[in-house]
A and B are shown apart, each in its own frame.
Chain A
Amino acid sequence: MDGLFAAFSPRLARELNVETAGTGSELEVSTHMKQLAGKNKVLKYFLGAGAYDHYIPAAVDSIISRSEFYTAYTPYQAEVSQGTLQAIYEFQTYICLLTGMDAANASMYDGASALAESAFLAASHTERKEILIANEFNPDYLGTLKTYCDAHELKIVNGIDNIGANTACVILQNPDFFGEVETLRQFVEKAHASGALFIVCIGDPTSLAILGSPGEQGADVVVGDGQAFGCPMSFGGPHFGFMAVKNEFVKKIPGRLAGITVDSKGRRGFVLTLQAREQHIRRERASSNICSNMALCALAATAYLSLLGKTGLRNVALSSYRMAHLLQTKLAENGFSLANKKPFYNEFLVECPAGKNQTEINKKLLEKGIAGGYAVGGNKLLLCCTEKITEKDIDEFVKIVVG
């Protein structure tokens, strides 16, 4: 054996100092993993802020647990990857139908990195250097955008009033980080009048079931995070991002695209296409460096959307909306005033009454197994409801925070 490793230098002269679980048997590994998982507490979540505890139909996990899906690689050999490729094509279609856009890619890492890549697309298309953030953004998204823009020498500008001849794009989070829903028209008009692209970023895409589609309202690019579509929160990942564009930007879209073609007998088949955009062909001139994406999470979303259908997805959105508004009403009756000025979907911001500290409130909730709100300056809490929250949960929540 040693001869095989003659070129491996310098040789590690000792064993790796890496502990096994017991002797490394499957039983011991399993026990160890359960012990670790047992140190985490699954709570009742009134916490959103970028990860959403929506119900996942049992069939989703059953579908993505098919090992023909999860132990396959990227579908480079199309003839033996028709399952993955057709599923990607269906995913792309679902994203287009929901966003009202012309084309979508096979997925991105998450909402935050999809946002950053959309800013690059706009900068490249317009040959401009300023990225305009139009409203209240998820701080993780903003942080990621800033890191990417620093590296790419793009400048982030805040507020629609600062639009100008250097603005590559106007980006609106909708609903915004505090749950507020904007009317898109005014932003579209201002962006296009300045020659900038208009980009909409979506944190919880179940909102699209009841909100007007951004594509119909003039968005050039729509990005977002798809975790809400059938992916467990999983302590922050893997989730997935998506990007959808109008036709004129298809050749600038990052990442993989599945398309329809025919086989040698004229039958319909699917392949990865327009690969001249991608890193393995175009190298330093590629539209992005993305290679692996979030295929299995996108498959979970495709299964989720197929299972729920328009009726089910609408119900998820309506229930989430209804529960959030019920909670807000009951909190308002008890001195927690709504801090939002515009309509909200399933997240909203409340100001805690004088004498009630946000940290203390969250602590009391946690004692009862409830994850409370995301703390915001000025003694405010960002609260979230999904369809998993019941009226009884809301009554309990209100009782704890009022008591």
Chain B
Amino acid sequence: MARDACGTLGELKLIFEHEGTNTNYVPMDMALNDRLPSPFNRKNLPLPDVSEVDVVRHFTLLSQRNYSVDTVFYPLGSCTMKYNPKINESASRLEGFAAIHPLQPAETCQGALQLMYELERDLCEITGMDAVTLQPAAGAHGELTALMIARAHFHGKRKKIILPDSAHGTNPASAAICGFEVVNIPSNEKGCVDLPALEKAMDETVAVFMLTNPNTVGIMEENMPEIVRIVHGKGGLIYCDGANMNAMLGITRPGDQGFDLMHLNLHKTFSTPHGGGGPGSGPVCVKAHLEKYLPLPRVVKKGDEYSLDYSKPDSIGRVRSFHANFGVLVKAYAYIKALGPGLKKVAEAAVLNANYMLASLRGSYPVPHDRLCAHEFVLSGDARASEGVHTTDIAKRLLDYGYHAPTIYFPLIVHEALMIEPTETEGKETLDGFIAVMRKIAGEPAELVKGAPYTTPVGRLDGVAAARKPNLRWNREA
């Protein structure tokens, strides 16, 4: 099939299908070729040479095949796809941040260390925790780090982790990497922790109870004091998956709710963009009794001087190279410096927007856990199952109307889940537009919905074929 170089319809060439001339980005020194010793004898370097204009067009055309927060409403539940203020981007690109080496002497990077120190302090205040590590590179990395801390706290003696069946998939995966056995407990009919089930599962072999709050059906856990009593009663730790921190900013704090440790997703709550799947940043916040286990190095302040401290004997060690995804920290820090105590308004608007949307869609889609929601809510797409219309179809149809789809088929405890998180940065006009389209889709002919999308660069893609015969890279001969 012919490739369509302009890329608006159909296929776009791969970069490897281009040929061209090379641009001199660095001084040429080919004369050295003949004098290299034997390990430096690479004969075959099969990369294409493509001119700069063709490379730039290639990637610009690729970018136009994406939906993004800057182009469409992106109500992807659990992912907090809020608008990312541009000042944060330009701040992270300042030469004094972007061009410095992580190992240069502390006296030449005081600004960077100060930023990290102050960000840690702000995150403590926001979460109600006592100490923070900024080292983890993403939320799941933060979970893993937190569980390593828990493992160190119990000297590896407690081997179990309890999870509600509504948990993010990363929770059990992180637990397994840490060598923990995962015990799943059911949620109750309200979507909250089933207290008798927790009480039964909790004993002195359990290290951690991991809980997302507000939980993944979008409601605040009721009975937190009871949960804390049960877990602490057996000497366990309670972990907060902070993916949904956006709902709680300035209103309530995990540290005050009784959690011992948690992670944050700076790329969700603190407005650093997701980059098509990263980089993120997953700081771990702990209560004082767990501080000694935090990864090294720690940022410390003595007088007016900031430095890195590598000398904490009880630390779990490092979980990555260098200090953190610093460029992401710069963006989160700038965001916090713009809002300060006004972060509370973020949570208020996020919760208000979600409840407005829930109230507006209640009549058109089933709401399995129907009550006031936090920053997101979960609908079911199963009302038209008898006509063969599933959640996937509704999601794909939304793309035709210029909206990104909600998170689908998660949480697992809701049949045909559609998880919607509007975020605080969207205005009423956008919310009403989306509500109108959701209602419209609910009444569209089944065949129309099942064939969607129609207006995207490619039609519905065959995931089964991709997995059956994986083609994961280009080959010249192919």
Contact = CB atoms under 8 A, between A and B. Distances in A.
A68 B71 contact: yes
Interface string B135-156: 0011111011001100100000
Nearest to A266: B1
B327 interface: yes
A198 B214 CA distance: 45
Interface in A204-235: 208-213, 225, 232-235
Contacts of A37: 91, 94-97, 111
B60 interface: yes
A263 B326 CA distance: 39
B91 A293 contact: no
Given A235-B102, A296-B279, A343-B40, A260 B471 contact: yes
B320 A110 contact: yes
A261 B126 contact: no
B334 to A, nearest CB: 6
Interface in B219-253: 219-220, 222, 224, 247-253
A110 B395 CA distance: 33
B80 to A, nearest CB: 10
B385 interface: no
Contact of B169 (A96, A213, A283): A283
B41 interface: yes
A20 interface: yes
B100 A233 contact: yes
Given A41-B109, A151-B178, A310 B46 contact: yes
Nearest to B225: A9
A152 B177 contact: yes
Given A36-B114, A239-B321, A263 B459 contact: yes
Interface string B102-131: 111100111110110000001001101000
Contacts of A53: 99, 101
B68 A7 contact: no
A186 interface: no
Contacts of A374: 103
Contacts, number: 640
B177 A288 contact: yes
The winner among A83, A104, A240, A387 for most chain B CB atoms within 10 A is: A83
A84 B276 contact: yes
B312 to A, nearest CB: 13
A71 to B, nearest CB: 4
Contacts of B186: none
Interface string A48-88: 01110101010101110111111111111111111110110
Given A97-B47, A103-B473, A90 B16 contact: yes
B346 to A, nearest CB: 11
Contact of B148 (A147, A234, A312): A147
Contacts of A79: 396, 399, 453, 456-461
Nearest to B451: A264
Interface string A173-207: 00000000111000000000000000000000000
A181 B36 CA distance: 13
A309 B18 CA distance: 11
A279 interface: yes
A392 interface: no
Nearest to B351: A4
B31 to A, nearest CB: 9
A47 B103 contact: yes
Contacts of A21: 337-338
A268 B11 contact: yes
B252 A109 contact: no
Contacts of B399: 77, 79-80
Contact of A292 (B62, B104, B144, B277): B277
Interface residues of A, number: 185
B55 interface: yes
A333 interface: no
B325 to A, nearest CB: 4
A66 B459 contact: no
B320 A109 contact: yes
Given A40-B110, A63-B56, A107 B278 contact: yes
Contacts of B58: 306
A165 interface: no
Given A69-B66, A106-B277, A237-B279, A113 B141 contact: yes
B68 A256 contact: no
A43 B55 contact: no
B141 A109 contact: yes
Nearest to B27: A319
B436 interface: no
B55 A59 contact: yes
Contact of A93 (B141, B176, B295, B473): B473
A308 B453 CA distance: 37
A297 B278 contact: yes
A285 B470 contact: no
Given A279-B173, A289-B174, A82 B65 contact: yes
Given A4-B352, A237-B279, A305 B47 contact: yes
Contact of B45 (A32, A43, A103, A310): A310
A20 B49 contact: no
B79 A147 contact: no
B461 A263 contact: yes
B437 interface: no
Interface in B429-452: 451
Contacts of B122: 18-19
A42 interface: yes
Interface string B73-103: 0101001010011010111111111111111
13 contacts: A19-B340, A59-B52, A63-B60, A71-B69, A77-B399, A80-B404, A150-B316, A261-B465, A289-B140, A295-B277, A297-B275, A310-B48, A316-B26
Given A18-B336, A19-B122, A292-B139, 12 more contacts: A12-B251, A33-B91, A33-B334, A72-B276, A79-B453, A147-B317, A232-B98, A264-B451, A289-B173, A294-B137, A299-B276, A302-B15
What are the 8 A-B residue pairs with the smallest beta carbon separation, nearest first?
A: A236-B322, A37-B96, A39-B111, A296-B275, A236-B102, A20-B340, A238-B279, A295-B277
